[in-house]
Amino acid sequence: MLNYEVFKPEEQPTQAAMEAFMSPEIFALFAALDHDLQETYQIKPKFSYSNCAMNQNIWRGWNIKYQKSGRSFCTIYPQQDYFLALVPGTSFKVRNKENVKEVMLAVALRKEALQAKK
């Protein structure tokens, strides 16, 4: 099942519901990435619902956006037994700690690119 098939657009999922949907192991990876993004970049997560129908609705449903000064650093799309992390220009299917490290590296490169544009 996909995110949008489980969670209603008018009701933001609870942490417990997300953990049950993603699996405790995958939710722990999400929580670690969430913590690293908040601590490293002082970014507050923002829940949002997307109706995007691309790629057989994989991007549709609740997501968590990490933005700073209006610039997107990363958006996470919870799915069953994994989550997608979208860093502008690249997407990652996260299932293990190595994938989390790849996402953090991509976010660091994104930050550098944004700073270079200033």
Each residue of 63-85: pLDDT tens digit? Answer: 999 999 899 999 999 999 999 99
Please state the rounded mean pLDDT for residues 42-57. 90
Q: Which residues pair with 71 in a beta bridge?
A: 68
How many percent of the chain have pLDDT more than 90? 86
pTM for this entry: 0.92
Output 46 or 58, whichever has higher pLDDT: 46
Round the CA-based radius of gyration of the chain to a whole number and report it: 14
User: Which tens digit of pLDDT belongs to each residue from 15-33?
Assistant: 999 999 999 999 999 999 9
Alpha helices in the chain (DSSP H): 3-6, 15-22, 24-41, 54-57, 97-116
Q: Is the pLDDT of residue 118 over 90?
A: no
What pLDDT, on the 0 to 100 scale, is given for residue 40? 95
Q: Are 100 and 88 within 8 A, CB to CB?
A: no
Domain ranges across the chain: 3-116
Q: Residue 89 has which token pair?
A: 């220009």
Across the chain, which distance is largest between two alpha carbons, in Å?
42
Q: Is the pLDDT of residue 53 over 90?
A: no
What pLDDT, on the 0 to 100 scale, is given for residue 110? 94
